[in-house]
Each structure stands twice: as C-alpha cells, then as structure tokens.
Amino acid sequence: MPIISKNKPYSFIKNLEFYTIKRIKDMGSHPSEDHLNKLLELFKQDLSIDLKREIASSIGRQLDDDIIYNFLKQEAFKEHYMEVVYQFLRTALYKSKDMRFAKSCDDLLQYYQNENMQKMKQYYDYRHAKKPPLKIIENIIKKPSLLVGDNAQTLNKIAPSSVNLIFTSPPYYNARIYSDYKNYKDYLSAMSQSLKACFRVLEEGRFIIINVSPIITKRAGREFESVRYPIHFDFHQILIDNGFYFVDEILWIKPDFSVPNRIGGYLQNKKPLGYKPNCVSESLLVYRKKAPFLLDKNIKIAEKRLKPIKQNHTLFGK
C-alpha cells in the first residue's frame, strides 16, 4: 500500500539542503498533509542519521494514522540505524491506543530484543499509569546511627527504600587484615549479598557509588606469580545482577602510589617485559537503582524535602 496523500500526488524533493534538522522539527510541530508527504519523501533519501532520526520522529507527530501505520509497517523491520528504530517505537508507543500501533509496538520489541527499547516501554507505561502521590521521606536524620557489623545483616535494620545515597568502599580481596576469603568466587559472592542489601534500602532511582580498584595479592614465594584481580570490572556485573544500572566511572587520581615502587625492577634492569606501572588511580563506579522513571522525579522529591530547610536557612531548623 502506498504511503502518500490520498488527495494529490507528491513531486520529488529536489533541494535537500533546504531541509535542516530545525526545519524538519518545525514540520513535526505543525502537522499537515503537505508536511507528511514531504517527510515521507525525505525519508527515502540518502541522508545523515541525524536527519533520518528527526524525519522519523516528525512523521510520528503527524495526524494521518493510516499513512503513519503503513509507513511503520513498511520501514520498521528494514535495515535502519537503531536511533531511527527508536523513533519508530516511540511513534508506536504514543499511538498505542490504536490497536494497530499497539501490535506494532509488541512486534518491534519482539523483533529487536533491544534493552533500550524495553526501557522506553517501561518508562512509557509508568508515565501513563495512575500513580500514588509523591512519597516524601523525613528530610532530617534526627537520630544518626552507626551500625557495626556485616552490612549484609546490619542493613536489615533499615527500612526499605529509605536511603537517598550510598557511598561505599568494599573490602579489598585478601589485601588487608580485615579481608580474608577462601577464594575470589567467595569474595564476589559476599559482595553480591552486600549489594543486594544496599538495593533493598536505597530509594528507587537513587545512586550508589562504589570506590574500588584492581588489587594484587602477594605471591607465596619468588618462584610463584602474584595475581592481579580486576575487581572493578567484576563489580559491574554484580551491580547489574542486583538491579542497578551503570551511570558513570570517575577516576580518582591519588597523591600516593597504591602499590609502592612497582616500577623498581624495570628501572634496575631496563627489560621491557618487566615493566609494571605505579598505580595512582582508583575507580568511583556510579550506578543508579533501576526505576521506570527519569531522574527528574528524584529531583522533584528532593526539592520538596529541601523546601522547609531553605525557608529556615539551616539544616537542623531553628
């Protein structure tokens, strides 16, 4: 079925340079039969991914659902950049009251099996569901507490979803007196239990920051090799498995070496294979507890909490 106006044929677009991203956005903001026809014709052209993305988005903002549906049906499963495919899904989501688009949405999710598209669906469903009023937790800790012990147990004393931020520096695998595990697998398992407890107490959409770095274990003798563990890499999967998602990594440049004089052997014999750099950095891994909403909601809640504090001009009130 042709995806073009029912009333009049449309002539080929000759001056492609005329159609900038700004102009295409404007066509999307002012839906009309003429704009829809031009956008459909533009989509066929060999254009940059940024233009294609904006054209797909603007087509979805037009009013003729029959033509838009046929456009999706013809294009959604062809070979396109994923940024363009995301716009196909966006159109299907916002027009999903029409069962044809609801079916297109399901088909797109099933076909691409893409994690970003799944997240788009979650966000859309959350925004369009009836929600309870914002829960405002008391903004002042009236009785600060210090919990001593294994946090996998002590965190059980804290109410679920009551913590705004977690910053932690886990024990280094068998590198300090306080840390002694039978093997690396046991260490990672213990860290997973702790992070599971952190997930329970952390508010939805809030951040957890992990200060960690690779660690090297001492060798048993000169004839044996020491082992270096990429703890920060392994922590990523543990965090993902426990319901967090990656936001960023901050590199902390330290004033002193974490392992002193690792470069000493190389400086003595100048053998390239013996080179080991002095480590001067640690990672601050920034993750967010999964939530079906944008960070804007957390900001809105925080502003409500801070309002009485700003009015009193003091953290602890008058």
Percent share of the chain, pLDDT over 90? 52
b (16+ CB within 10 A) / e for 281-292: ebbbbbbbbebb
Q: What is the pLDDT of residues 245-285, one digit of tens each?
A: 999 999 998 887 666 666 666 677 887 877 777 778 889 99
Q: What is the average per-residue pLDDT within 64-88?
A: 95
pLDDT class of 308 with cuts at 50, 70, 90:
low
Backbone angles phi, psi at 31, to 5 degrees: -65, 140
Asked if the model's pLDDT at residue 56 lies above 90, the reply is: yes
CA distances to 82, 153, 157, 159, 272 from 147, rounded to whole Å, are 47, 10, 9, 14, 49
pLDDT at 236: 95
Q: Output the pLDDT for position 278.
A: 74
- Backbone dihedral angles phi then psi of residue 194, each to the nearest 5 degrees: -65, -45
Residue 147: both structure tokens together: 């919990």
CA distance 203 to 302: 12
**pLDDT given at position 151:** 84
Which position has the higher pLDDT, 156 or 60? 60
What is the per-residue pLDDT for 74?
95
* pLDDT at 142 (0 to 100): 59
- What gap in Å lies between CA 150 and CA 198, rounded to an integer? 12
What element of type H or E holds 192?
Answer: helix 184-201
Sign of the CA dihedral running 203, 209, 214, 216: negative
All structural domains of the chain: 16-127 (no CATH), 151-312 (3.40.50.150)
What does the pLDDT average to over 158-186? 83
CA distance 166 to 157: 16
**What integer pLDDT is reported at residue 30 of this predicted model?**
96
Indicate the pLDDT class of residue 2, thresholds 50, 70 and 90: very low
pLDDT in tens, 113-170: 999 999 999 999 988 886 666 555 554 555 667 888 888 888 888 889 989 999 999 8
Burial of 105 (0-12, 13-18, 19+ CB in 10 A): buried
pLDDT at 318 over 60: no
Q: Residue for token digits 């003595």?
A: 268
